[in-house]
Amino acid sequence: MTRQTSSTAHDDLRRQLAEKPDGVLEAIATQHGLPLQTVVECLPDTMWTHVPGTHFASVMEDVSKWGPVTVIAHTKDVILEFEGPLPPGKFSHGFYNLQGGHGGLHGHLRADNCQAIVFLRRPFMGKETASVQFFNADGEAMFKIFIGRDDKGALRPDQIASLCALQDRLSAPAAA
């Protein structure tokens, strides 16, 4: 996916999202018959940064040091959320395996299917959000990791700083 899409439909969607960027992106994707990644990349350029999926392990390793986050898997049938620290992982048997153990997040992720990672900051339901979103070759979300909030509901400044540092490091010309 690129920032340049010439179709009138994409231009109309860009205008719509520039005016109201806080909708449920999956619903907008379904409404327009587009992959979620395309919709995300129709948001104003200042809201998102794309890096190659080859950075999957680097991103996961970094995020595992941030403390409590919200991991979301959103399909047409379920929105599944986990709040807590992202456990470290390691590659084995063709998967990136989260080492959460009992009582925490754990699972097996097909890292090789990750074609793009998008750092996204936008309003949603009246609040600022910041996330790292992982996309497969079809432009559909594998899962998303959202920055945690403090006891007043504000985004955690330490995690925002970590997200920005990671985004800057991975989107620098030498990192791509």
Say what the pTM is: 0.91
Which CA distances in Å does 10 have to 42, 48, 75, 100?
7, 16, 23, 40
Per-residue pLDDT at 86 = 93
* Residue 53 belongs to a domain: yes
* Residue 103 belongs to a domain: yes
Per-residue pLDDT at 172 = 87
Task: Name the band, by pLDDT with cuts 50, 70 and 90, for residue 119.
Answer: very high
Report d(CA 167, CA 176) in Å as an integer: 11
Q: What are phi and psi of 152, to 5 degrees?
A: -100, 0
* Residue 40 belongs to a domain: no
Between these two residues, 23 and 117, which has the higher pLDDT value?
A: 117
Closest CA to 3 of 36, 27, 33, 37: 37
Rg (CA), the chain: 16
What count of Cα atoms within 13 Å lies in the side-chain half-sphere of residue 130? 20
* Residue 55 belongs to a domain: yes
Name the residue range of residue 162's domain: 45-171
Per-residue pLDDT at 175 = 61
Average pLDDT over residues 148-161: 94
The total of structural domains in the chain comes to 1
